[in-house]
Structure 1
Amino acid sequence: MKNKIYDIIIVGGGPAGLTAAIYGARANMNVLILHKENVGSLISAHKIDNYPGFPEGLKGKELNNLMKEQALKYGAEIINATLLDIDVYSTPKIIKTDKDNFLAKTIIIATGWSKNNSKKIKGEEEFLGKGVSYCATCDGAFTKNLDVTLFGQGEEIAEEALFLTKYSKTIKIFVNEKELKCHKKTYDALINNEKVEIITNSELIKITGNDFVEKVIVKINNEEKEIKADYAFLYLGTKSSLELFSTFANVDQNGYIITKDDMKTNIEGIYAAGDVREKSLRQVTTAVSDGTIAATEAIKYILKQKKKEA
């Protein structure tokens, strides 16, 4: 986990998130944007001709790039990462991604329309709670003397695998790149544990079983293999908005976060902006408005906290 504590971490690099970053960075806040590259409603738009200031219209990607350029100009950082989970109850708050875990005083969730979430793996929904899990520290105790598999990349999956060594019989970590990217100390602890095996260049295709998970089908170096598994822990960014946010925020049945007009969620220091919010209209202009308000409220919150600590 990086030791730096950001004033504001924004999850999502669309118009709401980038606007929030511009306002936060201009106010001399340490701002980090976490987003998935080339994902979002705006960059997918062939042409935007109802955004003020561009009478001739422009491509969605062009508008997105201009917003990104402006956020960077004022000092915001941007990291391409997949959101895995958020721990809103720790101090500072922890945002878990496939790249690393990041610390924040405040968080603005601007992940966009819930249908932009990644597709589920075959068998994922069927076996959720029956061997499929998103949290080893939550369910690790149930894996005593069992064969477990983990799928993903980064510090989060490495730490979760290390936790499982206290319980599981065997632990196979499947990474879709050439190596598992995590801190050296964690990596060394894993490779020196006889229970652990790290398999690179792999892709989870399917999870199978009867009443409970029994096997996983994995493509390793372009060759499909069937592997015995009692548990499959997934760190692939396949959680829906409902699964991601309902653990701490008030959400509607579709996974949209419920806020008031000030973009505050029910958790102090956590805000939502843009299409991820429950609202009647979803446009670039309304997303920009949400981002402005969320950042302004986050800045006020941080300044109040600093005043209390002084």
Structure 2
Amino acid sequence: MGKDKIYDVVIVGGGPAGLTAALYTSRSKLSTLVVEKEKMGSLYMAHKIDNYPGFPDGISGTDLNILMKKQSAKFGTEFVDAMLFGFDPYEEIKVVKTDKGNFKCKNIIVATGTGKNFGKKLKGEQEFLGRGVSYCATCDGAFTKNRIVSLAGQGEEVAQEALFLTKFSKEIQIFINEPNFNCSEESLEALKKSDKVKIITNAKLQEILGDDFVEEITVDVDGNIQNYKTDFIFLYLGTKNNTEMYGEFANLDQHSNIITKENLKLNVDGMYAAGDIRSGVVRQITTAVADGTIAGLEVIKRVLRK
């Protein structure tokens, strides 16, 4: 696994849909990466499953998840425990953005499930979206000229976005929600050399405050609650909802689930959705497995056509 490797497919989600797709693609010798948050998801949490074929005495969701993962890993599937930030899917070589780095690929399968733990907003995040709250510094950096800006999250993308902001902003505060900033040494050294940048570790963003626009943020730093002045806050915390995450390249229903085209395709070539994230599906393990099969086979066919 490496940031320069180009995978045949990156699958976002380690549930039954994602792991079935991974089984098919990796068994067909396609380089496959599954991006997942470990020990999460409705399958993993299920106490006992009696209606999945092949287990007459039932099986726990955790055990079934482990077996599915082991089977796909047997054929070469790689895994990374990471938080999804977003996608750049429009070029032939696509990018899946996470807190553990950006991963390049030729195809993407979205299999994130119903998202019960997905898109939970910070206090003030929704209210100030577009009025100082953003998820993309390279998109909105030009608006921060001579302003105080903050970034919250973790990973190489945060470092790269902060370095981009040094072209515009007068002061940059980076709030890392862990003891260490997990980015490349090169990026970290560049940030430390800038007199505009301040890095605060063990910092968990609590609330975004302001009147018409963002004015300050409340942060828990090592257990101490502090307020910091800021004009913009760029979030890399996995708090995007489905509309913000997928709405640019997929049609969504009234419940923000993805409406797929024929053979589970999205509006962007080489991008698919499978499992409970899809609109109007019966949400069972068996149906998720079926979706994973279809999505995996579609990716295999697309790779073979190239």
TM-score (norm 2): 0.97
Is contact 1:100–1:154 with CA below 8 Å preserved after alignment?
yes
Please list every run of 5 or more consecutive structure 1 residues that lacks an aligned counterpart in the other structure.
306-310
Note the 1:176-195 alignment, pairs <5 A.
Answer: 176-195=177-196
Cα offset, 1:28, TM superposition: 0.4
Whether 2:67 is the aligned partner of 1:66: answer: yes
Which residue does 1:287 correspond to in 2?
288
Query: Match of 2:38?
Result: 37
Q: Contact 1:114 / 1:256 at 8 angstroms: preserved in 2?
A: no
Tell me the CA shift for residue 55 of structure 1.
Answer: 1.1
> What whole-Å deviation, never above 9, does each CA across 1:37-90 have from its counterpart, x for those lacking one?
121111111111100001111111111111011111111000000000100013
CA distance in 1, matches of 2:145, 2:68: 50
Checking the alignment, whether the CA contact within 8 Å between 2:249 and 2:266 is kept in structure 1 is: no
Contact preservation (8 Å) 1:108, 1:271: yes
1:84 paired residue number: 85
Number of the residue aligned with 2:165: 164
CA contact (8 A) 1:33 1:76 kept: yes
User: Residue deviations 1:146-197, cap 9 Å, x none?
Assistant: 1110000011111111111111110000001112111222111111111011
Where 2:297 maps in the other structure, the secondary structure is helix
Q: Matched residues in 1 for 2:162 and 2:272: separation?
A: 31
Conserved? CA contact 1:36–1:81, under 8 Å = yes
Say whether 1:20 aligns with 2:32. Answer: no
What amino acid is the match of 1:228?
K
CA distance in 2, matches of 1:264, 1:125: 30
The match for 1:206 is 207
Conserved 8 A contact 1:114-1:255: no
> SS at 2:258's partner residue?
coil
Partner of 1:227: 228
Corresponding residue for residue 260 of structure 2? 259
Residues in 2 aligned to 1:27 and 1:175: alpha-carbon distance in whole angstroms: 40
C-alpha RMSD of the superposition: 1.1
TM-score by length of 1: 0.96
Structure 2 Cα separation of the partners of residues 253 and 243 of structure 1: 14
* Divergent runs of 4+, >3 A: none
Q: CA deviation at 1:118?
A: 4.3
d(CA) in 2 for partners of 1:253 and 1:242? 10
TM-aligned CA deviation for residue 114 of structure 1: 3.1
Contact map agreement 1:146 1:168 (CA 8 A) in 2: yes
SS in 2 for 1:17: helix
Shift of 1:115: 2.8
**What is the match of residue 103 of structure 1?**
104
AA at the equivalent of 2:264? M
Q: How many residues align structurally?
A: 305
Secondary structure of 2:251's partner? coil
Q: Which moved more, 1:245-254 or 1:133-142?
A: 245-254
Q: Is contact 1:5–1:105 with CA below 8 Å preserved after alignment?
A: yes
Instruction: Specify every segment of 5 or more residues in structure 2 that has no aligned partner in the other structure, as ranges.
Output: none
